[in-house]
Structure formats: C-alpha cells, structure tokens
Amino acid sequence: MTRIIITLLFLGLNVGFSQTIRVGIFSDKSIKEVEGIVGKGTYFVFKDTVQLAKLGPADVFKASYSGGMVRVVVNGVEKAKGKSIRLIQDKQEDYLQIRLIQPSSKQRSYEGDFDIEIRKEALNLVNDLDMETYLEGVVESEGGTGQKINYYKAQAVISRTYAMKNWKKHKQNGYNLCDRVHCQAYLHHRSSSITIDSAVHQTRGLIMVDQSRELYPTFFHANCGGQTSEPQYIWNEEIPNLCSFKDTFCIRTQQAKWEKRIPKDQWTKYLVDKYHFPIQDSVSFLLLQHFVQEQRAAFYLHPVYGIPLRDLREQFKLKSTFFDAKIVGEEVVLSGRGFGHGVGLCQEGAMNMAKKGYTFDQILGYYYPQMKLIDRKEFIYK
C-alpha cells in the first residue's frame, strides 16, 4: 500500500526530469467501453483516494462512458461512477491486458498505472509508467525482435531523446505522447527479447544533443534506399544537423527496392488536374516517358513543373519518394528504393551496421553528425 499512497501523492506531477511518462493509448479511437484483465500481479482500482477493488488474474475490470461519467464494473458488479478512475499496479513488473469493447480492438498488454478520464464524450485512456519501461515497449514496437543489441541501444537513445524533445506534444490531451507512429509506436509492453531490456538498461538516461546542447532531432525511417533525404524535400523546411548523404549499409536489405504499376491515365490525370501539366507539349511529354533519380530530388521531372515528389508519394501511397518512372504500354512503372520519408537514421542500415560490429554510438554518429551523448540529468531546458 505504500506505493499506492506515494503514487496518489504525486498524481498530476509531470515535469521534464520525472522518471515517469504519461502515454495516451488507443489514442486514435473514440473509446466508449474498455476491458482490463490482470496479466501478472495485482492492480488496485481507485476513485479519487477511495479504493474500489483489488484485481487479481481472475478478475475482469470494465469501464464505460455513461452520461459524462466513467462507469466501473468489476466481475459484473457495478462499483462506482466518476469523472476519472485510476488503476495502480502493486509491483513495477505487473501488467494489464487491455482490449476495447466499443469500438472493438485486439488485446494489448501494458505495464504501469492507468488513468481513465472523460474527454470529448469518450474515455481517455492514459498509461502512466516509468520512462525506461516505456522505452522497452517503444524499442520493440519500432525495431521488432531478433536484432543485435547495439541496434537496440541506438533506438533506445533515439526514443528517449524524442520523448524529452516532445514532452508537451499532447499536453492538451492530458498526456505527454501518444502510442501512434506520429509520436513513436508504443503497441505493448516489452514482451519477448531480454536483449531489448538490456539495451535500454545499458543506455539508461542517455540522450543526444547538438553542438548548442539542444536536443537533437531524432527522425528515423525504415530504409533510405541508399541515400537519406533532405528534410526540406519532405516537410518543406530545413532542420539543422540533418542532411542528405549516401548510405551503403541498407542497399541490400529487405525494403531496399520496390515496384509499383499505376494506370497511365490515372497518373497523367492527376498531374494535369492538380498541377496543370502540359501533356500536349512534346518536350514535356518526352520527359514524362522516362524519369530517373540519380540522387534524391524534391520535384518530379523538373522543378519548373512544381510537382513535389512527396505529393506523389501521398496520392499514390508509395513507399518512398525515391523512385524512377517510365511509361510501359498503358502503365506507369515505378522502380523505387527505400521505405519511409528518408530523413535521419535508416533503421535497416543501422541494423546492418550493428551486425557488422559497429557500436551504438558509432551508429548514431553516422546518421546524426555533430551529435553528443549526455545523461538527461545534465540537460537544461532553456
């Protein structure tokens, strides 16, 4: 019970140097009803400071939106209604198996404590947990399993730095970060390799800063196709310390190459309708027949046409902007390289570097030039 009292005393504290982080889970859903089953250990259910129930592995907890309140049911018996409900783990390794009933979802497992609140006529589900435990889940969600420890160490430092740099990203929602990829993927607690636990533990507290001791921009992607991208090609803005360069570590990996075929009339209609492409002009039509990117470019064919490659990627759901195009019969054949936006660290390249024996700091230094590793306790918010 001592841990429960301490947790309640510190409820609501959320500062940059805190060891805990608040993460919105199932954040893309309008949750009306959710079910929780203890996967390991014990959980206590609180409304304010009043304990409503003690949950063990055989108990079923349900919370639903009911007239602007959270309705709590344990083992089929209604316990209370309130503006917010808190579930507190007994020990740090205890975890809860959670699934949405309305709308329905697959079950996920998370360690830590949970707040269930009302937001916009739905349930707001927040996982409140130790930063390093959160990172174990992120590293597995972002990097998968079966990799070398130095890749996981690099990913852990990236994800820790990102969390600190974006600490207030979802302040208006009542948490720090969400579980979606536009923050960083956090799909479940670390469920398999102890290598990931070791990687997070061995890099505990380490973050990246630039030469001005600002938190480093830690963008990453699956595969760059042999050359990383300039940020302005993707987001129309320059980002200090990130620039395009040749990367030979990823060119023979799983997602290095791809092909997609698109009906020619669909492709040309988009160019004409959206960008007024002069399809009748003989010179322009000739350029359209065969487009080659020797190096990553910002625009399709030529900048004079004003067709950003990022727009084509979004419109036609392409794996990357790094592709060649040619017309073959009634199709436009795209021969592409890489997967993702291409800015910053290439994950498959970093994985390959780790396999070749590079250390995690060498991997980070390769993709993030001018970076320096410090303990996050040394970082001062300006």
Peptide bond into 103 cis (omega under 30): yes
DSSP H or E run through 30: none
Q: Residue 6, class by beta-carbon neighbours within 10 Å (0-12 exposed, 13-18 middle, 19+ buried)?
A: exposed
What predicted TM-score, i.e. pTM, was given to this entire model? 0.88
Structure confidence at residue 382 (pLDDT): 62
Structure confidence at residue 12 (pLDDT): 38
Structure confidence at residue 52 (pLDDT): 95
**pLDDT tens digits along 39-48:** 999 999 999 9
Structure confidence at residue 193 (pLDDT): 76
Structure confidence at residue 189 (pLDDT): 87
Closest CA to 56 of 70, 75, 40: 40
Q: How far apart are CA 160 and CA 132, in angstroms?
A: 8
Q: How far apart are CA 163 and CA 159, in angstroms?
A: 6
Per-residue pLDDT of the chain (382 residues; tens, 9 = 90+): 444 443 433 333 334 444 799 999 999 999 999 999 999 999 999 999 999 999 999 899 999 999 999 999 999 999 999 999 999 999 989 999 999 999 999 999 999 999 999 998 999 999 999 999 999 999 999 999 999 999 999 999 999 999 999 999 999 999 999 999 889 999 998 877 789 999 999 999 999 999 999 999 999 999 999 999 999 999 999 999 999 999 999 999 989 999 999 999 999 999 999 999 999 999 999 999 999 999 999 999 999 999 999 999 999 999 999 999 999 999 999 999 999 999 999 999 999 999 999 999 999 999 999 999 999 988 877 6
The DSSP bridge partners found for residue 87 are 45, 114
DSSP code string of 318-364: -S-S-EEEEEETTEEEEEEE-BS---SEEHHHHHHHHHTT--HHHHH
- Residue corresponding to tokens 């409503």: 52
**From edge to edge, which strands make up the β-sheet containing 123-130?**
50-55, 43-47, 84-89, 113-118, 123-130, 20-24, 177-178
Structure confidence at residue 17 (pLDDT): 47
**pLDDT tens digits along 35-73:** 999 999 999 999 999 999 999 998 999 999 999 999 999
